[in-house]
Amino acid sequence: MDPPIQPADQADEALRADTPLTAAERDAHDAGQVSVLLHLHQRLDATVAAAYGWPMDLSASEIVARVVALNAARAAEEAAGQVRWLRPEYQAPEETRRRAMQRPLDIAAAASVAPVWPTEAPDQFVALRRALGGGPATPKDLAGRFARAPARRIGAMLKTLTALGQARETPDGRYAA
């Protein structure tokens, strides 16, 4: 036995048939904010159809047939080992971490690329001070760590860093931090 038709149901039917609402139907319609819900539901339907690339005018049975076909296709993909995670960081955290890991660094290639010597004096002092962190070196050694670095200028800068207490000269003529 079907439940009795409520005023809201009658209003829904009247809206679909594009017929005027009675006073009771209008009250139910307004109290339930049916127009707002209908508008939101239509926007949601349009968004979902667009996401799937489907036309808006599909019947309910066509939608079910397409969803079943998509489900079968996804099941076949998963059986073949391809999984389409919706939230991989939650559903497959190990897989996410594995993909996010950095590839091994090619040390030879990285070592062959020397940073360019800065053009501004303050940046040059900072770069030189950082280079001293690699251990004691001569001005010529330090110049070799940069592309286009003038060894004579580096010697003068090392004397300045020594006077400021930012570097020290070793007995064998090298400089250290």
Q: From the first residue on, what is the mean pLDDT of each consecutive set of 10 residues in the chain (177 residues)?
A: 55 71 79 77 86 86 91 88 79 69 58 75 89 87 84 89 90 89
Domain boundaries defined on the chain = 1-57, 58-101, 114-176
The fraction of the chain above a pLDDT of 90, given in percent, is 9
Residue 131 CA to residue 168 CA, distance in Å, equals 13
Looking at residue 68, what is its pLDDT? 93
What confidence score (pLDDT) does residue 6 get? 54
d(CA 5, CA 13): 10
Q: Tell me the fold of 114-176.
A: Arc Repressor Mutant, subunit A (1.10.10)
pLDDT of residue 149: 84
Spell out the residues 6+ positions from residue 167 whose beta carbon is closer than 8 angstroms to its own: 129, 132, 158, 161, 175, 176, 177
